[in-house]
Structure 1
Amino acid sequence: MATDHTVPLYEDLSLTLSETGTGRPALVLHGGGGRTTVAGITAHLSRTRRTFTPVHPGWDGTHRPPWLTGIDDLALAYLHFLHDHGLRDVLVVGSSLGGWTAAEMAVRDTAGVISGLVLINAVGVHVDNEPIRDISALDARGIAEYAWHDAQRFSPAPADVPADELARRQANMATLRVLAGTPSMYDPKLRHRLGRVQPPTLLLWGESDRIVTPAYGAAYAEAFADGRLDVIPRAGHLPHIEQPAATFAALDSYLAETNA
């Protein structure tokens, strides 16, 4: 069973995270939709691993100090968490914005605590002729058209979303804009640094994603020293939700092949 912790990190910042399972450690990082969007990944990994799933500071009402204004700040915060708790041989899995954060962690991991890296439809790099879709001006239904393979299934009618849930989503998006920039959603330096990342890296991509396309994912994978792209059919930006069986089969195959 998952347990929630509030972990002091800096004088003005504590992390809110869940911990579940036993074994080698894994860190699961969510995207703009919040921690609930990666619940399936956490559940899958916790069968065999001690799995930590934080809420990014500023999401879901958590505190974000004024100085924490970029994904680089977030990446360093999570590296400091791993160091502070003596966690090594860590698998880091990130979805969307969480994938960008994972990549920024990997290029800063001079102590070699990360042993495996999985990016799921990650943003974070610039690719010529494959721009990241700017969703800042879209409503939930508009975002769904770009994010899901089956938009009708995963796009609830606005009347079905309670007011408090709409307020939560709006606050999360405001935090995303602060940390990731709008509409950029990338670090212009990151792609040039990825070649120094040593752990084998898997990029999992929904074939129908129109926020960041599979061609964008292919360019991302090529930037790593040891990166590969696996495309998940009939899935969009969150393949672990639309096609969990295929997504987790690809993840498990990577873990078995690399011992990450």
Structure 2
Amino acid sequence: MLTPRSVPVRPGLDLDVRTAGEGSPVLVLHGAPGPAGVQPLVDHLATGHTVVAPTHPGWDGTVRPDDLDSVPALAATYLDLLSHLALRDVTVIGTSFGGWVATQTVLDDREGRISRLVLVDAIGPDVPGQQVTLPAGPPPTASAPAAGPSPAQRRGPSLSSMAALRAYAGPAMADPTLLARLSSVTCPVLVLWGADDTVVTPDFGRAYAAAFPHAPFELIPDAGHQPLREKPEAVHAALDSFLAPQDRTTRP
């Protein structure tokens, strides 16, 4: 059962966080569409994991303090959250903008709380010859589940969410230093990508994955920038396979 809560990670900042399930911990970081965009993933993972899914300050009516004005600042907030919840051996999963935040969180994890990283069509690095092309709205959903996308997904990111995104990401929507720093990541990494993504192309994803010491790159066929919505079963299967060794070691 999904439980919303407010977590005081530091004076003056309470995070809206949804938690669900039991088992090895997973931190899920959403992209521009907001928490609704990762809900299918949260529901899936909650069957065997403790899932922690915060709302980035500035999304869904939440307040973004003035000092939360960069990806490193947001990453520091999530490290504070993991500390507050006393979580270790955490898998961090980030989609799109959330993938950038997830990567920065791993890079700044001085306490060794994070054990695995999963990126899904993530932005973040400045890849030569590639750029982020923001969509005008969500892509067609011919292969979406029968229930269809939620109203929030159909509308796409709100104006306030896009303002928060630009406050964190800056006008370039990229960190020119990020790609070179990925060689220091020692935890296992999985990079998943929609084969038809036009926001950040598969070539962008391949360059992202190649910058890590070892990061398998897997294409999700017939999916664009939101494979969690377009091909959830394929994403879930890839994640379950990646997480299986950790699941075996954490079960009694």
Within the candidate set 225, 241, 245, 1:237 is matched to: 225
Q: Residue 169 of structure 1 aligns with which residue? A: 158
Flag the structure with higher helix content.
1
Within the candidate set 180, 187, 204, 1:199 is matched to: 187
Alignment size in residue pairs: 242
On the 8 A contact 1:17/1:52 being kept in 2, the answer is: yes
Q: After TM superposition, list the pairs within 5 Å mapping 1:1-260 onto structure 2.
A: 1-133=1-133, 135=134, 139-140=136-137, 144=138, 148=139, 150=140, 169-182=158-171, 184-257=172-245
Give the whole-Å Cα distance in 1 for the aligned partners of 2:157 and 2:29. 18
Give the whole-Å Cα distance in 1 for the aligned partners of 2:156 and 2:231. 28
Q: Residue 148 of structure 2 aligns with which residue? A: none
Output the TM-score relative to the length of structure 1: 0.87
When the two chains are superposed, the root-mean-square deviation of aligned CA atoms in Å is: 2.2
Give the whole-Å Cα distance in 1 for the aligned partners of 2:187 and 2:88. 13
What code does the residue aligned with 1:228 have? P
On the 8 A contact 1:60/1:168 being kept in 2, the answer is: no
Q: Which runs of 4+ in 1 moved over 6 A?
A: 165-168
Q: Residue 157 of structure 1 aligns with which residue? A: none
Gaps of 5+ in 2: 145-150
Give the whole-Å Cα distance in 2 for the aligned partners of 1:114 and 1:40. 23
Output the TM-score relative to the length of structure 2: 0.90
What code does the residue aligned with 1:20 have? A
Q: Residue 158 of structure 1 aligns with which residue? A: none
> How much does 1:256 deviate?
2.2
Give the whole-Å Cα distance in 1 for the aligned partners of 2:42 and 2:156. 25
**CA 1:249/1:178 → structure 2, altered by over 3 Å: closer, same or farther?**
same
> How much does 1:195 deviate?
0.8
Gaps of 5+ in 1: 155-160
Give the whole-Å Cα distance in 2 for the aligned partners of 1:81 and 1:178. 21
Structure 1 counterpart SS, 2:209: helix
Give the whole-Å Cα distance in 1 for the aligned partners of 2:99 and 2:157. 22
**CA 1:166/1:197 → structure 2, altered by over 3 Å: closer, same or farther?**
same
